[in-house]
Amino acid sequence: MAPPAGPVRAPEAGGTAGVRIRAARKEAGLTQQGLSSAVQVSRQTIIAMETGDYAPSVYLALKVARALNTTVELLWGAEVDASGLS
């Protein structure tokens, strides 16, 4: 059975990854258009990542992290509780 076509909803739709991406983008002084140009995707793709409606490929996640001068783990990593388990 083939996977569904179209964008993939991120596991924590609307959750912390989108908030972290938006915060890192603003800290880097980039607009959504600026980040989209830097990683060669549409502005709508950036919006979808920030709202949790799109989980990027590993390749795109790396490009976004590099453009924001951070790591994939800091942007999309699982939350870690006090015991060290996510």
Could you give the domains of the chain?
16-73 (1.10.260.40)
How far is Cα 57 from Cα 55, in angstroms, rounded to an integer?
A: 7
Instruction: Check residue 77 and give its pLDDT.
Output: 87
pTM: 0.75
Instruction: Check residue 13 and give its pLDDT.
Output: 44
Tens-digit pLDDT profile for residues 1-58: 555 555 555 444 445 899 999 999 999 999 999 999 999 999 999 999 999 999 999 9
How far is Cα 77 from Cα 86, in angstroms, rounded to an integer?
A: 9
Instruction: Check residue 9 and give its pLDDT.
Output: 53
